[in-house]
Amino acid sequence: MHMENQSTYRKLDYFDLGFIGYDKAWDLQKETLQKRVDNRVNDILFLLEHPHTYTLGKTADRNNLISSEEYLKNNDISVFDIDRGGDITYHGPGQIVGYPIIHLGNWKKDTHLYLRNLEEVIIRTCWEYGLKCGRREGFTGAWFGDRKIAAIGIKVSRWVTMHGFAFNINTDLSLFNGIIPCGISDKEVTSLKRELGEKVAINEVKEKLLKNFISVFEYDESEKKSDHPIIVQELETK
């Protein structure tokens, strides 16, 4: 793969994975991260939706999973203990999940700035819908006052990122009732649908997210690679 001058000329490959199980996407992330570390692929952004899932980060308090086994079974919710930072969150239909697998060494070796930039991508996307979204001091994510519309949790290994953000679009917010989201008990969760008062086209939001991601992270070039679930071997440019 032609990767010279990567430090000055940066390309993003984008994959729309559609609807994909959490375990399959997690495996894909781990394999892709190693390929990025080995310089076998460009920076990559996966956008997708998951089935009903609760994930607990490395420092999560399991007491924040307040669902009974019956609740999990009745709502067909899977639970995963994973290797990102942060506490517990929900993924499900109507929520866009973004997994950037990017090399911070070719951008800026600053994980805090990376987190702020992920927030900026969400904030700018909300602005495009006329919504005054912003940050909240002391917390990650994107907020409308006390209402959180996007959660962020990452892992960085050898300056390559994985995991990312969960942005509520047409999400069934009642499924957050089975957890204390991000371990924050005194704040609400919200969605674009709730803030706008109407359902929003998922693919339209994905296009805006992609555009804002490219802008915020200052890519020179981008390419949309696939609209369908893929296997990791297809990531490598021949």
Active site positions, annotated = 182
Q: Is the dihedral of CA 28, 120, 170, 177 positive or negative?
A: positive
Please name the residue that has the structure tokens 């919200």.
190
Separation CA 182–CA 185 (nearest Å): 8
Q: Residue 26 CB: number of other CB atoms within 10 A?
A: 20
CA distance 152 to 226: 24
Torsion 118-119-121-122 (CA) sign: positive
- Helix ranges restricted to H, the chain: 22-37, 69-74, 111-127, 192-196, 202-216
Taking CA 60 as the corner, what is the angle to CA 79 and CA 156, rounded to the nearest 5 degrees?
95
Which residues partner with 179 through β-bridges? Answer: 65
